[in-house]
């Protein structure tokens, strides 16, 4: 049995946990513990051997392991205590953590603050209810990535991909590079689910066809996948029977979305947002439970690791400030609401406009030549021009610290997207 009483306990050591622990340490907390259930640090990054990480934070593109290593190296120079191979099983509203590990047995932690950084998990075939049999050979893209890149095992020779999320497209290319055949990528929506750059680099450059407005209607094979039926879908997303056809394959790889992993948050009674699937947070990444902060993909599935790192630094600093202030009572908060063509915004609350605040949001539908705005009544806090916005690509708008703190009382902040010509005068473009 081990008992710890740190100033801050960070759960999960992906890019979110790493940056949060570092930020909490840099902000002056003396005892910071980073808890990771895996045998190594880095979260999902060690298996992401493709490049494309770090263009905002480091202004260069790194592979996943390289990106993680920058933080791991920095961590070595701090006094942050790392508990690897340690699974957190329970978290209470009183912030008490119960974990187990082979090395330490049961670990009971009573931290002054907690940062949730558990990341997300993949949606499975059952979450999207694909009809058919339940044979071996139906796998999610992240799992395929782990099998191939970490374990050195090939899940199959001939692959059909359902869903055009980024990981799916990246793994379609990976299968090709490994000598497997990728018959095609089928996407329910009429637009790709991932970033345009991945579509070009992973599918187009490898001659992998992308079939939009299509879905898998049946999985064949009792023991191992023998093929799938696919069909085009109509406007109501229902398969059109006449278009159904059979494709022989031994593997169906799914890239049908990620779900923030919030079992622990739920146990602690943290309020979750129905749309994001993650905790409701304020601009310091404080959740509804005092002293519990959250960052990275546990809050919302960010497409870019750079955004994850930024939210994590905010969370780490936020936790430190809260502890250093002696755990103050919750302050009044300003609600942040999605406006025109915005499906959701993180953070959902802002405590102060005297600091810089990053608003991350997704649009509901693609739109060209727009301005994204953050406004409080008549006052525009941030605006940002974009040639194009699409649901798969998260938008970030940065509100600079308000110059005169004594500005008008703000009761509500609206984030919306408007056509470039309807935009009003306001704060300068980002």
Partner 1 sequence: MAVKWDIGQPCTWYDVQTELPAAAEVVVIGGGVIGSAIARELTKYTPDVVILEKENDVADGTSKANNAMVHSGMGEEFGTLKQRLNVKGNAMYDDFVRGLNVEFWRNGMLVLFAPRSLGAEITANMTPEQVHEALAVNIPGLLLQDGVKKGIPGQRLVEREELFQLEPYVNPDTFVAVLDPTYGIVNPYKLTIALAENAVMNGARVVLNTLVTDVLVEKGSVSAVVTNRGTVKARYVVNAAGLFADEVARMVGDDSFKIHPRKGATLLFDKDLVGGLVRHSIAMARIPPDPHTKGGGAFPTVDGNIQFGATATEVDDKYDTSITAEEIERMLDRYPYMVPGFPTSAVISAFTGVRAPTGEEDFVIGPVEGAAGFVNAAGMQSPALASSPAIAEMVVEILHEMGVSSERREGWSGERPVCPIFSRMSSKDRESLIKGDERWGHVVCRCETVTEAEVANAIHGIIPATTMDAIKRRTRVGMGRCQGGFCGPRVAAILARELSIPVTAVTKDGEGSELFCCDTKVLLTEMV
> Smallest distance from the beta carbon of 165 to partner 1, in angstroms?
14
> Smallest distance from the beta carbon of 89 to partner 1, in angstroms?
6
263 binds partner 1 (CB under 8 A): yes
Residue whose token pair is 């809050």? 299
User: Site residues (CB under 6 A) for ligand FAD?
Assistant: 11-17, 35-38, 43-45, 48, 50, 52-53, 87-88, 117-119, 142, 145, 166-167, 261, 264, 296-298, 302, 304-305, 308
304 makes contact, choosing from ligand FAD, partner 1, none, with CB < 5 to 8 Å by partner type, with ligand FAD
> Smallest distance from the beta carbon of 249 to partner 1, in angstroms?
12
151 binds partner 1 (CB under 8 A): yes
What number of residues does the chain have?
430
Taking the least distance from each CB to ligand FAD, the nearer of 215 and 311 is 311
Taking the least distance from each CB to partner 1, the nearer of 77 and 152 is 152
- Interface residue with partner 1 among 54, 142, 193, 279 (CB under 8 A) is 142
17 binds partner 1 (CB under 8 A): no
> Smallest distance from the beta carbon of 399 to ligand FAD, in angstroms?
23
> Smallest distance from the beta carbon of 37 to partner 1, in angstroms?
7
- Interface residue with partner 1 among 59, 76, 77, 153 (CB under 8 A) is 153
Taking the least distance from each CB to partner 1, the nearer of 51 and 108 is 108
Decide: residue 229, CB within 10 A, 0-12 exposed, 13-18 middle, 19+ buried.
middle
> Smallest distance from the beta carbon of 254 to ligand FAD, in angstroms?
12
Tokens of 126: 């059952």
Closest CA to 111 of 6, 250, 39: 6
Report yes or no: 109 and 7 within 8 Å, Cβ to Cβ: no
Taking the least distance from each CB to ligand FAD, the nearer of 13 and 348 is 13
| Choices 10-18, 63-71, 177-185, 307-315; region in contact with partner 1 by CB under 8 A | 177-185
- Interface residue with partner 1 among 49, 72, 84, 89 (CB under 8 A) is 89
> Smallest distance from the beta carbon of 64 to ligand FAD, in angstroms?
7
Tokens of 353: 């406009």
Spatial separation of the C-alpha atoms in residues 172 and 184, rounded to whole Å? 9
Peptide bond into 249 cis (omega under 30): no
The CA radius of gyration of the chain, in Å to the nearest whole number, is 23
> Smallest distance from the beta carbon of 129 to partner 1, in angstroms?
5
Tokens of 38: 């895996």
- Interface residue with partner 1 among 72, 93, 143, 247 (CB under 8 A) is 143
223 makes contact, choosing from partner 1, ligand FAD, none, with CB < 5 to 8 Å by partner type, with partner 1
Spatial separation of the C-alpha atoms in residues 133 and 228, rounded to whole Å? 10
Segment 230-249, which members bind partner 1 (CB under 8 A)? 239
H or E stretch at 22: helix 15-26
272 binds partner 1 (CB under 8 A): no
Beta carbons within 8 Å of 30's beta carbon, 6+ residues apart: 7, 79
How far apart, in Å, are the Cα atoms of 36 and each of 40, 89, 293?
8, 12, 17
- Interface residue with partner 1 among 77, 222, 242, 422 (CB under 8 A) is 222
Segment 103-132, which members bind partner 1 (CB under 8 A)? 103-106, 108, 121-122, 124-127, 129, 131-132
- Interface residue with partner 1 among 5, 197, 224, 385 (CB under 8 A) is 224
Taking the least distance from each CB to partner 1, the nearer of 83 and 353 is 83
199 makes contact, choosing from ligand FAD, partner 1, none, with CB < 5 to 8 Å by partner type, with none
Greatest Cα-to-Cα distance within the chain, rounded to the nearest angstrom: 69
Report yes or no: 191 and 212 within 8 Å, Cβ to Cβ: yes
Taking the least distance from each CB to partner 1, the nearer of 175 and 361 is 175
Tokens of 245: 């056809």
Extract long-range pairs of 54-63: CB within 8 Å, 24+ residues apart: 54/305, 54/306, 55/304, 55/306, 56/304, 56/306, 56/307, 56/310, 57/305, 57/306, 57/309, 57/310
Tokens of 181: 């055949």
Strand 32-35: give its sheet, edge to edge. 81-83, 32-35, 8-11, 113-116, 292-294
């Amino acid at each position: 049995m081990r008992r710890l009483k740190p100033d801050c306990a960070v759960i999960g050591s992906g890019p979110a946990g790493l940056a949060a622990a570092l930020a909490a340490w840099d902000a002056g907390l003396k005892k910071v513990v980073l808890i990771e259930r895996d045998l190594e640090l880095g979260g999902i990054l060690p298996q992401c051997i493709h490049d494309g990480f770090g263009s905002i934070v480091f202004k260069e593109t790194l592979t996943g392991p390289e990106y993680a290593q920058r933080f791991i190296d920095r961590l070595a120079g701090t006094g942050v205590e790392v508990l690897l191979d340690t699974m957190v099983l329970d978290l209470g509203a009183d912030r008490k953590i119960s974990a187990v590990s082979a090395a330490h047995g049961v670990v009971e932690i009573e931290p002054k603050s907690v940062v949730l950084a558990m990341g997300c998990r993949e949606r499975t075939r059952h979450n999207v209810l694909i009809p058919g049999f339940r044979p071996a050979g139906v796998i999610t893209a992240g799992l395929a990535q782990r099998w191939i890149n970490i374990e050195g095992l090939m899940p199959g020779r001939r692959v059909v991909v359902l869903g055009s999320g980024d990981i799916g497209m990246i793994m379609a290319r990976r299968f090709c590079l490994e000598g497997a055949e990728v018959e095609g990528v089928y996407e329910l929506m009429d637009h790709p689910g991932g970033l345009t750059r991945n579509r070009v680099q992973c599918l187009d450059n490898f001659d992998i066809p992308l079939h939009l407005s299509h879905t898998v209607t049946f999985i064949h094979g009792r023991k191992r996948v023998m093929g799938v039926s696919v069909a085009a879908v109509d406007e109501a997303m229902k398969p059109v029977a006449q278009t159904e056809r059979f494709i022989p394959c031994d593997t169906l790889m799914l890239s049908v979305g990620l779900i923030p992993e919030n079992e622990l948050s739920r146990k602690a009674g943290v309020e979750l947002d129905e749309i994001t699937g993650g905790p409701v947070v304020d601009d310091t990444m404080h959740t509804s439970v005092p002293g519990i902060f959250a960052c990275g993909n546990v809050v919302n599935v960010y497409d870019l690791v750079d955004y994850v790192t930024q939210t994590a630094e905010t969370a780490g600093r936020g936790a430190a400030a809260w502890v250093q202030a002696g755990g103050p009572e919750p302050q009044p908060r300003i609600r942040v609401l999605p406006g025109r063509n915005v499906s959701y915004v993180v953070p959902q609350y802002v405590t102060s406009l005297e600091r810089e605040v990053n608003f991350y949001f997704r649009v509901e539908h693609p739109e060209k030549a727009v301005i994204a705005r953050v406004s409080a009544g008549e006052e525009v806090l941030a605006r940002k021009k974009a040639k194009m916005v699409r649901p798969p690509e998260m938008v970030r708008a940065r509100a600079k610290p308000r110059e005169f703190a004594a500005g008008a009382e703000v009761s509500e902040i609206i984030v919306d997207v408007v056509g470039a010509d309807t935009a009003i005068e306001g704060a300068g473009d980002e």
